[in-house]
Structure 1
Amino acid sequence: MEEMKVLLSEEEALSLSQEVLVNQGFSAEYSRAISETVVAGQKDGCESHGLYRLLSCIDTLASDGVVPDAKPKLENVSGSIVKVNANGGFSQLAFSLGLPLLVEKAKDNGIALLAINNCVHFSALWVEVEQVAQNRLVAIACNPTQAYAAPHGGSAPLLGTNPFAFSWPRAGKHPFIFDFATSTVARGDVELHQRENKPIPDGWGVDAHGNTCNDPQIVLEEGALTTFGGHKGTALSMMIELIAGPLIGDLMSYESTQHDGGKGVLPFHGEIIVAIDPASAAGKDFEQHLARAENFFDQVETQGARLPSQRRYENREKSEKYGIEISEKLYNELLSLLN
C-alpha cells in the first residue's frame, strides 16, 4: 500500500517545525534556524535531510547531546581565517554568524576560510554553500560525522559519511551545486529504510564481517556503511577527516564517536567552508570566464545529461506551486510532539 502524503505550505511547515522544537526545549532562535534548514531540505525533495531530521534533533537534546540555547562566538579572526565556536549548539547559528565575515574576507583577499568548531551537525551542506554562492562566490564545504563507514577493504566503522559540497554562482540562474556523502549513501537513507522495514540495496553496507548486507538494522548497529567508488571514496573521505578535523583543531569521526559515549545522538565535530572570489582569482576578465562556464554547462545538458541539483530545483519549484510533501506518518509523529 502506498504511503499517504500530506501537503503543507512553506509557512505551515516552518510553523509546525518551530512549534515542535520550542515545545521540546529549544530556544526560539535555534528553532527558527533548524526549521529553515529542514524545511529547505523537505522543499527540495530531500527527505533524509528534511523534517524527518527533527526527530534526531529532539533525541539528541533528550540525551544532553546538544545545548539548546548555545550562543556561538567569533573566536579567532586573522588574515583570511574566520573561526566560530558553536559552544555545543547546532551548526546553523554559528554559520549565520560567520557568513558575513567569510564573504567580506573572500572579497577582500580573494579567498577565505570559515572554521566552525564544537558544533552538533545534522544538515545537508548544500543549504550553506548555496548561501555563499548567492554572494557571487565559489564555495567548498565538508565535515566529518561519527564513525559510520568502513574504509575500503575494512569491516569496522572508522570514517564518517563525510559530506562534500561545492557551489558555483550563475547569473540569473540557480547555482551549480553538488553535495554528496563520501559513503555510498547517506546514513539518513539507511535510517529511512529501517523505519519503513525495507531492505537496502546491495553495496550500501556490510555486516560485522565485512560481507555485503541488506538489513539496515544490522548495518546501522553491527556493521558499517561503505565508501563510494571503493578506494577512491575512502581517500576522499580521509581527506575530509583531516581538513575538517585536525586542520581546524576539531574531532575526526572516530573521535566524535568516542565523545558520544554510546548515546547514539547526532555527531559533535567541526565544519570547514572555503569561499573563493572569481573576480580576484580570474582577474579583470572574470565575467568572460564565468560565461565560458555557462557554455560548459550548456554542453553537458545538450548531451541529455542532468546537472547536479537540477532535480532538487525542480522539486523546489513543484513545492512552491503545489505545497511541500511530507509522509502522513511523519506528520502525525510531529503533531504528537506538540502535546
Structure 2
Amino acid sequence: MTNNINMTIESASKLVIDCFVRNGCSPAVAKSVARVIVAAEADGCLSHGLFRVPGYVASLRSGKVSGVAQPKVRQALPGVIVVDGQGGFAPPALDEARSSLIELTRGNGIAGLALVNVHHFSALWTDLEPICAEGLCSLAFTSYLPVVAPAGGTKPLFGTNPMAFGWPRADGRPMVFDQASSVLARGEVMIAARDSHRMPEGVGIDANGNPSTDPNEILKGAMLTFGGYKGSAIALMVELLAGSLIGEQFSYQAGENDNKDGGPPRGGELIIAMNPVAIGGVGAFAHAEQLFSKITEQPGARLPADRRYANRVRATESGLSLPAEVVEQVRALMI
C-alpha cells in the first residue's frame, strides 16, 4: 500500500516553488509553474500534479528549458497575439499575454493567442479558467511528443494532443472540459506503470503493434486515440492548429529534435477566446444555463469539471494527500 503525506495547498506550493528555484528558475517562473501543478493536484488530476515535477526539473538541468526566460508579446493582427516564450515553460508566457488576449476579445468578439517556443507540460483547463473568469469562453489546443498511433497504424506519430473548452458561469465556476485525443493522458499510463496496474483494453499497443494492457509495453509501443478514426482525425486537427497554423513543430518533429531528458518538448499552444455577449447577445449566458440544467436534472449526469471542483473543495478544506514517494522525489531534487 502506498504511504501518503498530507500537506496543505500552501505547503505543497512552497515545496514546488523552492524546488524550481533551487534548479534555476526565477521566483516568478517558479511561482507560475507551481500554480498549475498544485492546481492539478488539488483537482484530482494526479497525472499533471507533483508527479510531473521531476520531468520539469530534468528539462531545466539539461539546459533544454530556460528557467529565467522573459516572454516577448506582440500583436500580429488586430485580433491575434503571438507570444515567443523564449524557450521557457508555457505558464509564464501565458501569464504575460492573458490580459492582452482578454482585452482584444472584449473589443473584437473573438481573438487568438499563439504561444510559440514554449514547453507545455500542464493540464489545459488551468489555461482557460482565468479567461472564463472574465466572462469569455475559450478553446485551447497543444501537441506533444509522438506517442499515439494514427487510426490503422502501429507506430507513434501524434502526441496525446489535448484540447479544452471553457464556458463562463455566474457562480464563478466555468464549465470546462479538458481531454486528450488519446484514450487516456500519457501520465495516467506512466502512473499505472509505476504502481504496477494493468490498463483497460483499447488504451494502447506494444512495440509490435499488438493490443496490450501492460502499461510498460504500451510505453514502449504506442497509445491509441479515443473513438478510433474519429479521435485520430481530432488528433490530426490539433497537430495542425498547434503546429502549422502557428508556425510550430508537429509532435513527430518535436520527438526528432528533443533531447530525451524526460521533460516537455518544445512546441506551441493555440488559445481562441470569444465574447458570448458580443456575439450572441446579453442572453447568451442564461440560454446556456437552460442546457446545463437539462443535463443535471437527469440522475447520474453531471457537467464537465463538477468532479474537479468537488475535489478542489476537499483539498482546500482537508489538504492534499500526496504519495510519500512523490514528495520525497521532489525533496531529493533540491539537494
Task: Quote the residue 1:236 is aligned against.
Answer: 234
Where 1:83 maps in the other structure, the secondary structure is strand
Is contact 1:43–1:325 with CA below 8 Å preserved after alignment? no
Where 1:148 maps in the other structure, the secondary structure is coil
Task: Quote the residue 2:244 is aligned against.
Answer: 246
1:258 alignment partner, one of 243, 256, 259 = 256
What does residue range 73-92 of structure 1 map to in structure 2 within 5 Å?
73-92=72-91
- Structure 1 gaps, min length 5: none
Where 1:311 maps in the other structure, the secondary structure is helix
Where 1:88 maps in the other structure, the secondary structure is strand
Is contact 1:65–1:266 with CA below 8 Å preserved after alignment? no
Q: Displacement of 1:261 after TM fit?
A: 4.5
Task: Quote the residue 2:305 is aligned against.
Answer: 309
1:226 alignment partner, one of 224, 229, 233 = 224
Task: Quote the residue 1:37 is aligned against.
Answer: 36
- Partner Cα distance (2:329, 2:263) in 1: 19
For 1:24, give the aligned amino acid.
Answer: N
Task: Quote the residue 2:318 is aligned against.
Answer: 322
Residue 299 in structure 1 maps to residue 294 in structure 2:
yes
TM-score, with length taken from structure 2:
0.97
Is contact 1:72–1:94 with CA below 8 Å preserved after alignment? yes
Count residues in correspondence. 334
Q: Displacement of 1:262 after TM fit?
A: 4.2
Task: Quote the residue 2:54 is aligned against.
Answer: 55
- Partner Cα distance (2:308, 2:90) in 1: 22
The more displaced of 272-281 and 19-28 is 19-28
- Partner Cα distance (1:293, 1:50) in 2: 31
The more displaced of 160-169 and 73-82 is 73-82
Task: Quote the residue 2:95 is aligned against.
Answer: 96
For 1:47, give the aligned amino acid.
Answer: L
Task: Quote the residue 2:268 is aligned against.
Answer: 270
Task: Quote the residue 1:172 is aligned against.
Answer: 171
Where 2:211 maps in the other structure, the secondary structure is coil
Q: Displacement of 1:62 after TM fit?
A: 2.2
Q: Displacement of 1:7 after TM fit?
A: 1.4
- Partner Cα distance (1:322, 1:261) in 2: 40
Task: Quote the residue 1:28 is aligned against.
Answer: 27
For 1:137, give the aligned amino acid.
Answer: L
Where 2:91 maps in the other structure, the secondary structure is helix
- Partner Cα distance (2:225, 2:270) in 1: 21
Task: Quote the residue 1:162 is aligned against.
Answer: 161
Residue 198 in structure 1 maps to residue 186 in structure 2:
no
Is contact 2:277–2:284 with CA below 8 Å preserved after alignment? no
Residue 113 in structure 1 maps to residue 112 in structure 2:
yes
Is contact 2:89–2:119 with CA below 8 Å preserved after alignment? yes
Is contact 2:57–2:263 with CA below 8 Å preserved after alignment? no
Is contact 1:178–1:309 with CA below 8 Å preserved after alignment? yes
- Structure 2 gaps, min length 5: none
Where 1:89 maps in the other structure, the secondary structure is strand
The more displaced of 192-201 and 320-329 is 192-201
Is contact 1:120–1:268 with CA below 8 Å preserved after alignment? yes
- Partner Cα distance (1:133, 1:151) in 2: 32
- Partner Cα distance (2:262, 2:149) in 1: 18
Q: Displacement of 1:59 after TM fit?
A: 1.3
Residue 149 in structure 1 maps to residue 144 in structure 2:
no
- Partner Cα distance (1:65, 1:212) in 2: 34
Q: Displacement of 1:67 after TM fit?
A: 1.2
Q: Displacement of 1:75 after TM fit?
A: 3.5
Task: Quote the residue 2:133 is aligned against.
Answer: 134
Residue 338 in structure 1 maps to residue 334 in structure 2:
yes
Task: Quote the residue 2:121 is aligned against.
Answer: 122
Where 1:229 maps in the other structure, the secondary structure is coil
Q: Displacement of 1:215 after TM fit?
A: 2.0
Cα offsets for 1:41-68 (capped at 9, x unmatched): 0111111011111111011222222111
Is contact 2:133–2:172 with CA below 8 Å preserved after alignment? no
Q: Displacement of 1:263 after TM fit?
A: 4.1
Q: Displacement of 1:76 after TM fit?
A: 4.1
- Partner Cα distance (1:129, 1:299) in 2: 24
- Partner Cα distance (2:213, 2:321) in 1: 28
Cα offsets for 1:194-234 (capped at 9, x unmatched): 1112222211110122211122222213x101000000000
Where 1:69 maps in the other structure, the secondary structure is coil
- Partner Cα distance (2:76, 2:189) in 1: 39
- Partner Cα distance (1:338, 1:244) in 2: 34
Report % sequence identity.
38
Q: Displacement of 1:149 after TM fit?
A: 0.1
The more displaced of 168-177 and 192-201 is 192-201
